[in-house]
Each structure stands twice: as C-alpha cells, then as structure tokens.
Structure 1
Amino acid sequence: MDTMERVTARPYPVRVSGRRDPELSRWLWLVKWAAALPHFVILAFLWLAFVVLTAVAGVAILLTGRYPAAIFDFNVGVLRWTWRVQHYSYGALGTDRYPPFTLADVPDYPARLEIDRPERLSRGLVLVKWWLLAIPHYVIVALFVGGFGPLFDGDGSFPWIFTGLVGVLVLAAGVVLLFTGRYPEPLYDLAVGMDRWALRVAAYAGLMTDAYPPFRLDTGGADPGTVEVDTPAPSIAPEAAATGTGWTARRVTSVVAGAVLALTGSGLAAAGGAMLWADRTQRTDGLLMTPHRHYDTSSYALVSEEIDLPDLDLGRFGPDSLLGTVRVEVPTSAAQPVFVGIARTDDVETFLNGVAHARISDLSRDAAPVLVPGDRVPADPASAGIWVASTAGSPPQALTWDSEGGDWSVVLMPPDGNAGFGLTVRAGAEVPALPWLAGGALGLGGVLLIGGLVLMVVPVTRAAHRV
C-alpha cells in the first residue's frame, strides 16, 4: 500500500526554459512571421494529431491507468516544437536562431521543454481535469496569450482574434529593440513566465500529468517552478531521452495524415448519421419542414433566399432528387389574404425592381429580414405571368411545387398591393436523395475513419518498440 508524503522540493513535472540571445537583430523580428510560416503550417497539423492522440491516450488511461509511452513522446514533441517556435517568434523574440524541424529535444537550442513521464495516472481525473478542473487556468491563459472566437452579427458570424499580454509585451520589446538595439530583460522574463504558465496548462489538459498547475507566475528564462503535492513517492519517473524515441519523419507524417483522415471520417459519419436520423424521424407528410417563423415587414413583399438547383439532365440524380416536392405553408395565424408564388430569381427581381421588399436569408433559423428600399407600388402579382406555382387567398394556404433546375425565389405578399403585413410561414422539401446521401456519408466516413486509425496505430505501435 502506497503511503502519501509531502514533497516540497520536487520540480513541477512540466519544465519550460528559455535563453535569450545576447545579441538580437534589430529588424529581423519584423519578418519572423514569414520566416516561421512553414512551422505554423506544420504545427497546425501536428496539433490536430495531438488532439486525436490525446483522446486515444485518455481512453488508455481510463482502462489501464497508464499513458502510452509512444503517444506521450509524440505529444511532448509537439509541445516542445511549439515552444521553440514561440520563443523564436512572437511568444518571446528570444532568439534569432531558426527553430529545427523536429519533435526531439535539441539540448543546445535556446528554448527547451521537458515533461516527466508518470508511471501511473488517475483514471477518474482523466474525465474532468482537461475541462472542469482546468477552467480557471483557461481564463488566465486567455488573458496571457490571447485567443480567437466567433463574432456574431445579423447575417452570421466570422472569427475574431484577440491578443494577450504576451503579444503586447513582445511588441513593446520589439519596438525598443528596433530603436535601441537592446531587448529589455524584464519584458523577456515576464513574457517567458506567461508562456511557461500556458504550456504547463497545455500539458495538464493534454492528460500528461496529474499535478495541478500552480497559480504562480515563474518569470525568467530558467524554470524555477516547484510545487508542493501530496503524492506517492514513486509515482513519477523521469522522461525518456527524446533523442531515443522512435518518431521518425515518416511516422510523424503518417500520424498527422491519419488524424486528418480520422477526424474527416468522424465528421462525415456524424453528418451521415444526422441525415439518416432526420430522414427516419423528422418528416411531416413525407417532407422535411422548417419550424414556423413569424415575420413583420413594412414593405410590400417578403422574398426568400435564392434556391439554386443545378440545371442539368442527370436522370434519377437530377435536381428533382435534391429537393423533390417543395411546399410553402402559411397557417391560419395570418390576419389577411396572402399571395405565395415561386418564380425564377431573375423574373422576381424584375417584378420587384424599385419596389420596397424584405429578403429572408434563412427560413431554418431566426433572422430578421433585410429591407430592400424602393418607391414603386408593385403590380398585381397574380397577373405577372412569371410564376411556376402560385396560390392566393385567406390563410391557411399551402403551395406545392415539383422542383426543377434553375435559380428560384419564393415571394409572399398581400394580393391587394398594400404595404405592411405580418405572417407566419414554414417551408419544406421531400429531399428524396437524403437516404443515399446519408448512406454515402456513413460509408465514406467509415472508410476514412478506419484508414486514419490504421495510419495512426501502425506508427504509434512501431514507435513504442523504440521507447
């Protein structure tokens, strides 16, 4: 039975060190983003593999209490490579020496990272430490190194990026270096301390240690970090020398390619499963329908987003197999008569040219219509002669159309030409090709997933024999 003891001078198992070059180029930091671009591209794929392999390691820890040695060495290598690139570029600007393209430890490089490989890990902690327990650290790391996320507006979302304190410090150091030729040492020490904190958290969230990261900013290039922990004395073993790992360039490439294929296959399989579920459980009278949406507008008409169907003769795989029968419904909640029509988009634009109308971007979600201004009163829609299908009168109204190739728009408006109205509407389509699309996505996703797993398992197994 293991006895617990208080360890007061044991180094934290994640050690991050840096050494600032005594002489740094005044201007090189201005173009390091371009010089480091090959590293950024490779690291994007390495981190993809890191995430996938961490999930695999999590399952192994849950079942055996051990982190597979070959995966541990690979993930340590990714963190080590990341730190070298950060130290060279805008995580510290600590060296002008170009980072090597390797997962292995390079003892004479100015930036090093070491992680003690634990003999055993808690099976219970693996379920919570990477998200629940690490949340306080995630907040701090976001403040230190920045991040990115979605910014929402009326039409959708797009990514935005915010810099952290490290970016501000390094920019200030770069400006001072440019004009004076000197790098202020306090700025370097503080930036490295924040980078160290972030890398400790990355290793903890990557399940590589059970030792909780200390809430302490250890500044400076040399890692002074120690932490008091209650732990069985023999629980942590030194990491194997990185140069002795079996991770050749070919095996790393295989793992990265396998991770990409596995994630792509998982996404396709999930999409196929979702389509199959919708096909089997979400149909109304054989059609997939959107929820009811209510719209109020001060204009003369509501116009749907463009429905673009390939205008090709593809037999059973033609445009009618994509949507099949289309139905637009206006239930009894509408307080006045309504005209509903489907026509080619060019004809609709001509009919509503100069007429104030509102465009609906997506019936499947809540989004305010976009008003298109105009000063002309529309003609009677029933007499326009452009509609391939139409209906008019007091609600409830339902328009049915057998789809065909082309660009189409749905128009809803009062038949008397008055401006300002409100109505509730929903739309749907038969989508007869959905089962085939679901089966194809599931099949292709399964093949890619299995192929990706093979590409990952083989090099991990072979690398394990070298550990």
Structure 2
Amino acid sequence: MEPENPDYTAQLAYPVTPVRVRGDLDPALSRWMWLVKWLLAIPHYIVLFFLHIAYFVLTVVAFFVILFTGKYPRAMFDFNVGVMRWTWRVEFYALSVLGTDKYPPFSLAPNAEYPADLEVDYPERLHRGLVLIKWWLLVIPHGLILGALFGGGATLVMQSDDNWASWATVPLIFFLLLVALIALLFTARYPQGLYDFVVGINRWSIRVQAYATLMRDEYPPFRLDQGAREPETR
C-alpha cells in the first residue's frame, strides 16, 4: 500500500479559504508619516462613502436574486469585492494596520504591485435558504469575538468637578497600533509579531464581512491567521 501523500492530506483537512487577504509590511516605513496618513486619505474616505452606499444597495439586490435563483450576479459581485479591496487598502495604509507609506490607488481592480490586496472566489451557486439567516443570525458568534477585538479594550473613567464620572472604551486595536507606532517612532521598525497579529484581526473581519454580505456559503473559521500572506494550506 502506497504511503499517504501528506500534502494532499493536509489540503483535505485544511482547505484554502475562498477569501484571501494580503498585507505586506513595508520594510522602510517612515518614523513619522503615520501622523498624517489619516489626513492624506481623506479623498479616499469621500469616495468610499458613496461606494459603500452602492455596496449596501447591491447587497440587498443580491439577497433577492440569490433567494430566487441561487446565484450572485457576477457584475455586482465583482463590484462589491472591488469595494472591499479598496477599503482594505485604505485601512492598511491609514487606519487599522498602518503597514505601508505607499498611497493607495483609486481603483476597484486587483493590483499585485500594491502591498495590500484581497480576493474572493466567485461562487457558481449559493444556498437559497441560507441567505435568510447567514447575514445576521449565523454571524453572531463572530460578531461577539470581533466586537471584543475591535471594540473591547480599556475603559477610561474621568471624574469631573461636579462629582460625576464619565467613561469611554478604547478599542484593543487602538492599543496594539499605539504600541506599534511608539516602537516605529523610536526604532524605525514595526514589531513583526504585533504586525502579524493586527493583520490577522483584519483578515478575520474581512472573511466575516464576505460571508455576512452573502458572497460565500462557507462559514468563516474561528481562527486568527496571522501574517502578511494567507497560509498556503489550512
């Protein structure tokens, strides 16, 4: 009997996810440019505001098309993936990773030259009944975890002169980025382990977004796949 192929077995046990997120760390990040990148990205925020309105409308339309036909119209799918891709590049540049100083392109298309990109495999068929519950009920467990990662953190309590207290929750992702930026400021290096963790959080969020907005039927894994690139096998 021939020995089992370990690579083949691994692929069966850990299939490659249909949602793939890439974020390559810029090895020559500026010590100070992170102070202004959020400001430089304002033109992107304006465009993305309108793109996300279109994204929402097309997702609603896709809901009914999938419900009756089991298919996600390809043109709408490609557009919405493009919006996700554009958003990820801006987040990678200026908001939730700060992993590059290279200004994001104003484009929905994939770009192998830019440090951040994503792909979502087009599904030939989607489950018609699943569309009724996956966008809200089935994503609740993921929402709780991601809420802790993005919304959880330290609670700051402030006492006023009138003897009443106010508080605000500072997201965990903010603290992670703060530590990274302090290290960048003094060492000119983004700590690799911290970077991998931050990208992993964003990757998890993007996978859940693709599922919740009806792009795939495969349930997102409860897994923090860290690092710049997707593992080749799962």
Q: What TM-score, normalized by structure 1, do the two folds share?
A: 0.43
For 1:72 and 1:120, locate their aligned partners in 2 and report how far apart those are by CA, in whole Å: 13
Q: In structure 2, which of residues 181, 187, 209 is the aligned counterpart of residue 174 of structure 1?
A: 181
Greater C-alpha Rg: 1
Deviations 1:38-91 (A, max 9, x none): 111211221111111101001000010000000000110011011111111121
Alignment RMSD, CA only?
1.9
Deviations 1:131-183 (A, max 9, x none): 00001111112222239xxxxxxxxxxxx985532222112111111122111
The residue type paired with residue 194 of structure 1 is: I
Aligned counterpart, 1:188: 195
Aligned counterpart, 1:82: 87
Aligned counterpart, 2:47: 42
Identical aligned residues as a percent: 58
Aligned counterpart, 1:146: 151
The residue type paired with residue 18 of structure 2 is: P
For 1:161 and 1:75, locate their aligned partners in 2 and report how far apart those are by CA, in whole Å: 34
For 1:26 and 1:101, locate their aligned partners in 2 and report how far apart those are by CA, in whole Å: 25
Aligned counterpart, 2:135: 130
The residue type paired with residue 215 of structure 1 is: F
Q: In structure 2, which of residues 48, 57, 62 is the aligned counterpart of residue 52 of structure 1?
A: 57
Relative to 1, partners in 2 of residues 1:71 and 1:226: Cα closer, same or farther, differing over 3 Å?
farther
Once the two structures are superposed, the pairs formed by residues 60-459 of structure 1 within 5 Å of their partners are 60-146=65-151, 163-224=170-231
Q: Secondary structure at the match of 1:15?
A: strand
Q: Shift of the alpha carbon at 1:102?
A: 0.5
For 1:222 and 1:15, locate their aligned partners in 2 and report how far apart those are by CA, in whole Å: 8
Q: Shift of the alpha carbon at 1:7?
A: 4.1
**Unmatched 5+ residue regions in structure 2?**
1-10, 153-166
Q: Which has the higher strand share?
A: 1
Q: Which has the higher helix share?
A: 2
Deviations 1:328-372 (A, max 9, x none): xxxxxxxxxxxxxxxxxxxxxxxxxxxxxxxxxxxxxxxxxxxxx
Higher relative contact order (CA 8 A, sep 6+): 2
For 2:87 and 2:170, locate their aligned partners in 1 and report how far apart those are by CA, in whole Å: 18
For 1:188 and 1:126, locate their aligned partners in 2 and report how far apart those are by CA, in whole Å: 34
Aligned counterpart, 1:18: 23
The residue type paired with residue 128 of structure 1 is: I
Aligned counterpart, 2:160: none
For 1:210 and 1:116, locate their aligned partners in 2 and report how far apart those are by CA, in whole Å: 11
The residue type paired with residue 95 of structure 1 is: T
For 1:189 and 1:53, locate their aligned partners in 2 and report how far apart those are by CA, in whole Å: 33
**Unmatched 5+ residue regions in structure 1?**
1-5, 148-159, 228-467
Q: Shift of the alpha carbon at 1:37?
A: 1.2
Q: What TM-score, normalized by structure 2, do the two folds share?
A: 0.85
